[in-house]
Amino acid sequence: MRFVATFIALVSCLVVSVSATTCKVTASGGDDAPAFLSAVQKCTQVTIDKDTTLNISTRLNMTGLNDRRIKLKGTIKFNPDIAYWAGNGFSFPFQTQITFWIFGGNNIRIDGGGTIDGSGQAWYDAFAANSSLLRPITLTVFQAQNVVIEDITMLNSPEWFNFVNEGKHVSYNNIRISATTSSVNRIANTDGWDVYRSDDVSITNSNINNGDDCVSFKPNATNIIVNNLVCNGSHGISVGSLGQFPGVFDIVENVTASNIRISNAQNGARIKAWAGPNVGSGIVKNIVFEHFIESNNDNPVIIDQCYMTNATACAQFPSNTFIQNVVFNDISGTSSGSTKSVVASLKCSPDGRCEDVTVSNFNLTPPAIYAPAAYACQNVNLTGNAAGLFGTCTTT
Ligand SMILES: *[C@@H]1O[C@H](CO)[C@@H](O)[C@H](O)[C@H]1NC(C)=O
Ligand SMILES: *[C@@H]1O[C@H](CO)[C@@H](O)[C@H](O)[C@H]1NC(C)=O
Ligand SMILES: *[C@@H]1O[C@H](CO)[C@@H](O)[C@H](O)[C@H]1NC(C)=O
Ligand SMILES: *[C@@H]1O[C@H](CO)[C@@H](O)[C@H](O)[C@H]1NC(C)=O
Ligand SMILES: *[C@@H]1O[C@H](CO)[C@@H](O)[C@H](O)[C@H]1NC(C)=O
Ligand SMILES: *[C@@H]1O[C@H](CO)[C@@H](O)[C@H](O)[C@H]1NC(C)=O
Ligand SMILES: *[C@@H]1O[C@H](CO)[C@@H](O)[C@H](O)[C@H]1NC(C)=O
Ligand SMILES: *[C@@H]1O[C@H](CO)[C@@H](O)[C@H](O)[C@H]1NC(C)=O
């Protein structure tokens, strides 16, 4: 757990280094992006007052910053000019994403108790009419080191709320996330966080109400701590999906997710990796999911190493993404009954591609009509005091 100590040392050093010139950005009545960008270039601290709402109508390139703090007490609201953003969001090849805002550099911080509003409703409605519409991620921490994002509310992102892309030593603490829709249209793909090609990331003490992964560990997320989250309505705390793209090797290593209350979700604790012909490869190693309190979740505990692949194809073309040393400990609560009696499903590709999976202290129940609970597994040798619940897991 060496990386925990490093992280704590880092936070105190950041607090000391934030000082010097302070600027305030006020609302102009039009696009406030140019003034906001120039303030962040010039001043070490940029304040947005409590009664200020900045109208951001053009993209925010805040990369290469050094020693900067955005003290957000008011609101940053992205103007939902769909035609503009679909053509001008910063784009990333990974999963063909675009974003409103790239925030990068060294020793950078956003805090202050204010709000970042993605104006998602217009996007949710437009996406329902055009499923190929590119929708912006609200905040992308990009090529950044020593980042703190703290005490912020994030509302109605058009797509993912937070993307950590090529970051190191990045900490999110006390973040309130909420996506809601006032129409019949879904809040699709509103992940709380996606961590990609990043090392030493922590996400703590936060509340998330959204419509896709609460937190997702994408390729090359390493040394991650997720602690004390309340997630509602999400797709869970998810490793993956991994091993999707031919020729690409994905690593997810050293992830601990603990003290998670998760409700009304598609999944609780999840690992998913592709199998089948023409996919990629990778390794998922040293993953701990512990102290989960679940309520009404479809799959409270799930490993799916045949993701998007039927049983025949998975047996013929097992996953090239290997899974090693996974712990599920102290997992309690209820399933939704959508998988009837099954409260935990650990299904691996054949030939020892999942190793060292430990299950302990399970107390999961399905709705009364499906009692007693059932446990599904394949191609994995389980250890731990809940292993007996699963029986033998050798066959497919
Ligand atoms: C934000 O600025 C844009 C560009 O000037 C303008 O079209 C839009 O009406 C403004 N929105 C608000 C809420 O002021
Ligand atoms: C952002 O601005 C920096 C500095 O001006 C520039 O080098 C970089 O190419 C810009 N990034 C994008 C994605 O436009
Ligand atoms: C749907 O969105 C895509 C991607 O942003 C865009 O190229 C296309 O023109 C849109 N289609 C319609 C009918 O608006
Ligand atoms: C939690 O999620 C469910 C299902 O998406 C939703 O109906 C409910 O309103 C959410 N609860 C809160 C407190 O936001
Ligand atoms: C992940 O890291 C490994 C080792 O550095 C590298 O070979 C691989 O290309 C990386 N994968 C991605 C998706 O960046
Ligand atoms: C994972 O943690 C172990 C034990 O602390 C460490 O030796 C290893 O280098 C870490 N892996 C990565 C990719 O940082
Ligand atoms: C399983 O997937 C393979 C490969 O994608 C496909 O050819 C086959 O028809 C599928 N079989 C069933 C039973 O769905
Ligand atoms: C489970 O353990 C047995 C005995 O050590 C071994 O033969 C078998 O290959 C293992 N199965 C898997 C899926 O790892």
Q: Which ligand is nearest to the CA of 348?
A: 8
pLDDT value at position 96?
Answer: 93
If asked whether residues 182 and 299 sit together in one domain, one would say no
Atom nearest to 285 CA in ligand 6: 1
Q: Give the whole-number percent of the chain exceeding pLDDT 70.
A: 94
Say how many Å lie between the CA of residue 384 and the centre of ligand 8.
Answer: 16
pLDDT value at position 395?
Answer: 57
Question: Does residue 6 have a pLDDT over 60?
Answer: no
Respond yes or no: is residue 235 known to be catalytic. yes
The stretch 225-230 carries a mean pLDDT of 98
Q: Considering the domain boundaries, does residue 328 fall inside one?
A: yes
Residue 351 pLDDT level (bands cut at 50, 70, 90):
confident
Cα 241 from Cα 304, distance rounded (Å): 9
Pocket of ligand 2 (CB under 6 A): 61, 63-64, 90
Query: Is 136:158 a contact under the CB 8 Å cutoff?
Result: yes
Question: Does residue 281 have a pLDDT over 50?
Answer: yes
Q: How far is CA 315 from the centre of its chain?
A: 30
If asked whether residues 191 and 303 sit together in one domain, one would say no
Distance between the two ends of the chain, CA-based, in angstroms?
36
Q: Which ligand is nearest to the CA of 347?
A: 8
If asked whether residues 198 and 242 sit together in one domain, one would say no
Question: Does residue 352 have a pLDDT over 90?
Answer: no
Residue 180 maps to which CATH number?
Answer: 2.160.20.10
Q: Considering the domain boundaries, does residue 48 fall inside one?
A: yes
Q: Considering the domain boundaries, does residue 257 fall inside one?
A: no
The residue type at 282 = G
Q: Which domain holds residue 315?
A: 236-246+268-395
Atom nearest to 1 CA in ligand 6: 5
26-35, long-range: CB < 8 A, 24+ apart: 26/52, 27/52, 27/53, 27/54, 27/55, 28/55, 30/55, 30/57, 31/55, 31/56, 31/57, 31/58, 31/79, 32/56, 32/57, 33/57, 33/58, 33/59, 33/60, 34/58
Question: Does residue 184 have a pLDDT over 70?
Answer: yes
The stretch 261-275 carries a mean pLDDT of 98
If asked whether residues 308 and 171 sit together in one domain, one would say no
The finding on whether 352 has its CB within 6 A of some atom of ligand 8 is yes
If asked whether residues 187 and 278 sit together in one domain, one would say no
Q: Considering the domain boundaries, does residue 40 fall inside one?
A: yes
pLDDT value at position 4?
Answer: 41
Choose which residue among 132, 134, 159, 189 to substitute to test ligand 3 binding: the one with the highest number of ligand atoms within 8 A of its C-beta.
Answer: 132
The finding on whether 312 has its CB within 6 A of some atom of ligand 7 is yes
If asked whether residues 148 and 72 sit together in one domain, one would say yes
Atom nearest to 94 CA in ligand 5: 13
Give the closest residue to 260 by CA, choosing from 304, 203, 187, 218: 203
Cα 360 from Cα 233, distance rounded (Å): 26
Residue 379 pLDDT level (bands cut at 50, 70, 90):
very high
Q: What is the mean pLDDT of the chain?
A: 94
The finding on whether 249 has its CB within 6 A of some atom of ligand 5 is yes
If asked whether residues 207 and 306 sit together in one domain, one would say no
Residue 15 pLDDT level (bands cut at 50, 70, 90):
very low
Q: Give the whole-number percent of the chain exceeding pLDDT 90.
A: 92
Q: Which ligand is nearest to the CA of 83?
A: 3
The finding on whether 232 has its CB within 6 A of some atom of ligand 4 is yes
If asked whether residues 194 and 288 sit together in one domain, one would say no
pLDDT value at position 393?
Answer: 85
Query: Is 346:305 a contact under the CB 8 Å cutoff?
Result: no
pTM of the shown model: 0.94
Q: How far is CA 243 from the centre of its chain?
A: 18
What's the pLDDT tens digit per position in 76-106? 999 999 999 999 999 999 999 999 999 999 9
Cα 217 from Cα 36, distance rounded (Å): 31
| Nearest residue (CA) to ligand 6, atom 10 | 254
Q: Considering the domain boundaries, does residue 228 fall inside one?
A: no
The stretch 34-55 carries a mean pLDDT of 98
pLDDT value at position 32?
Answer: 98
Q: What is the residue whose two structure tokens read 């999911």?
A: 289
| Nearest residue (CA) to ligand 7, atom 12 | 310
pLDDT value at position 11?
Answer: 34
Residue 44 pLDDT level (bands cut at 50, 70, 90):
very high
Residue 5 pLDDT level (bands cut at 50, 70, 90):
very low
If asked whether residues 153 and 241 sit together in one domain, one would say no
Which of these is catalytic: 168, 235, 272, 285?
A: 235
The stretch 271-296 carries a mean pLDDT of 97
If asked whether residues 242 and 386 sit together in one domain, one would say yes
Say how many Å lie between the CA of residue 197 and the centre of ligand 6.
Answer: 15
Q: Give the chain's domain count.
A: 2
Give the other-Cβ count within 10 Å of 184's Cβ: 8
The finding on whether 166 has its CB within 6 A of some atom of ligand 5 is no
pLDDT value at position 13?
Answer: 29
Give the closest residue to 58 by CA, choosing from 84, 21, 27: 84
pLDDT value at position 199?
Answer: 98
Atom nearest to 197 CA in ligand 5: 14
Q: Considering the domain boundaries, does residue 283 fall inside one?
A: yes
If asked whether residues 241 and 197 sit together in one domain, one would say no
Give the other-Cβ count within 10 Å of 331's Cβ: 25
What's the pLDDT tens digit per position in 320-346? 999 999 999 999 999 999 999 999 999
Contacts of 317 (CB under 8 A, 6+ apart): 275, 276, 277, 279, 309
The stretch 267-290 carries a mean pLDDT of 97
If asked whether residues 154 and 273 sit together in one domain, one would say no
CA 14, 17, 19 angle in degrees (round to 5)? 125
Cα 261 from Cα 353, distance rounded (Å): 30
Peptide bond into 241 cis (omega under 30): yes
The finding on whether 57 has its CB within 6 A of some atom of ligand 1 is yes
The finding on whether 316 has its CB within 6 A of some atom of ligand 7 is no
Cα 175 from Cα 201, distance rounded (Å): 14
The finding on whether 223 has its CB within 6 A of some atom of ligand 6 is yes
The finding on whether 233 has its CB within 6 A of some atom of ligand 4 is yes
Q: What is the DSSP string of 49-61?
A: -TT-EEEE-S-EE
Q: Considering the domain boundaries, does residue 293 fall inside one?
A: yes
The stretch 107-115 carries a mean pLDDT of 98
Q: Considering the domain boundaries, does residue 94 fall inside one?
A: yes
